Structure 1
Amino acid sequence: MSEKTETIINGLPQVAVITGDIVNSQGYEQTNDWLSALKELLGECGDHPKMWQVYRGDSFQLLLKDPSDALSISLKLKATIKRFKELDVRIAIGVGALEHEAEQVLQSNGEAFAYSGRKFDSLKKQTLAIKTPWQDLDKAFNLFLKLALLTMDDWSETRAEVVMASLQHPQATQQEIATLLSIPQSRVSERLSRAGFEAIKETEQYYRAAIKERLAALSSHHGKRTE
């Protein structure tokens, strides 16, 4: 994965932390199947154990140096786990400062870790939520996510598979996705439509732009203040 430029504010990098766990994992017999898929995806996001770790059997934490990637990665995590019947994933995104980066992510700390941990502890029925330094952004995005989850929580294994392929290959046409999955193009179109993919993709793009804009404004403000 290529290194991205970090946003540094008050001498501290601004990051995202994803804390999650697998829903219904204890009753699932083929643990190695979903665990291998989870680790493969986390491995694409960074090095183990500095950037991600799985702990307590079905919980995980991931550090992202580019906070704008957090919702995209979370959607991939959702789609990855929903490919396994009866399983789901709970995820809390925290955006903020990284104050101490250890050799193992579970020993790192900072604002982003605190936000992610607290938001995760507060999750009840909602399976995806976010906490940032900006309350207005949190309020808007948690409402967007609550609406999106009405569809996402009901993804079947086949819809999740098509969503995952589309997220992994964003430039691919529906026909190319169909070829990749060995199914008719009409099936791809139908599953993406029922998965609410277009609206979810627009929400992800809006999140990405909003986070970049807020961090740029904060960085600019900090720079003017310290000149």
Structure 2
Amino acid sequence: MKAVITGDIINSRKVASALWMGDLKDILKDYGNEPKDWEIYRGDSFQLIINPVDALEIALLIKAAIKQHKTLDVRLAIGVGTVDYTANKVTESNGTAFVNSGESFEGLKKQTLGIQTPWSGFNETFRIIFQLVVLFADNWTTTSAEIIKKALENPGINQKELALALNRKSQSSISASLNRAGYEELKNVIEYYKQEIKKQW
């Protein structure tokens, strides 16, 4: 089983790609090699193949990285399934993971995060959970997004260390930002997602 994240940047024409492209690539590079495991195409669309257990956490990390830039957001669709053919470019590989990711992406409309797997009960549960996740995530400010990104990248550090890593003066401002951004709730959703997806195979 593999997961494929298909995404595209919302409002990409309003912000020079030089400003956000590096942030996106830095995350994608951590999870594989270009273009076999990930690829950016059509200027503002991308695809990444990863372990299904990590898919939600990586999707939220990408969202935080992009939302550091004012006016930008990202649509993300996770597809879980098989990979029947692995090409040199991820966009030319295929299998149910790719089909599910593509179908989930097509169905997003106003929603910015979706998932499609072979398990209908799982899909229904997380469709509802993701609607709640984006209530937080779609409204992250640039500051919240920066703090969430650093927190997701460094799960072991405390708020004082987080404040230092971000060159912020006070731990209390970090704490307030994490609360506003729903960080604890997001962490709980990520853990629940990991636990539930491991039960599926």
Normalization by structure 1: what TM-score? 0.87
Residue 203 of structure 1, aligned match among 176, 189, 197: 189
Q: Which residue of 2 aligns with 1:112?
A: 97
Partner of 2:12: 25
In the alignment, structure 1 residue 130 sits paired with structure 2 residue 115 = yes
Q: Which secondary structure state, in structure 1, belongs to the residue aligned with residue 111 of structure 2?
A: coil
3-state DSSP class of the match of 1:101? Answer: coil
> Could you tell me which residue of structure 1 aligns to residue 60 of structure 2?
75
Specify the code of the residue in structure 2 equivalent to 1:108: S
Of structures 1 and 2, the larger Rg is shown by: 1
Partner of residue 49 from structure 1, selected from 35, 39, 56: 35
- Residue in 1 that maps onto 2:106: 121
- 1:142 Cα deviation from its structure 2 partner: 1.1
Give, in angstroms, the shift of residue 119 of structure 1: 0.7
In structure 2, the partner of 1:164 is 149
Normalized against structure 2, the TM-score is what?
0.98
Secondary structure at the residue paired with 1:45? coil
2:25 — aligned with what?
Answer: 39
Question: Percent of aligned positions with the same letter in both sequences?
Answer: 46
Deviations 1:119-145 (A, max 9, x none): 101111100010001111111111001
Specify every segment of 5 or more residues in structure 1 that has no aligned partner in the other structure, as ranges: 1-13, 216-227
Report how far residue 31 of structure 1 moved: 1.4
Deviates more, 1:48-57 or 1:142-151: 142-151
Q: Secondary structure at the match of 2:140?
A: coil
Mapped to 2, the partners of 1:146 and 1:199 lie a distance apart of: 13
Provide the residue aligned with 1:16 in structure 2. 3
Structure 2 CA distance, aligned partners of 1:175 and 1:210?
32
Aligned structure 1 segments of 4 or more residues deviating by more than 6 angstroms: none
Equivalent position of 2:128 in the other structure? 143
The aligned length equals: 200
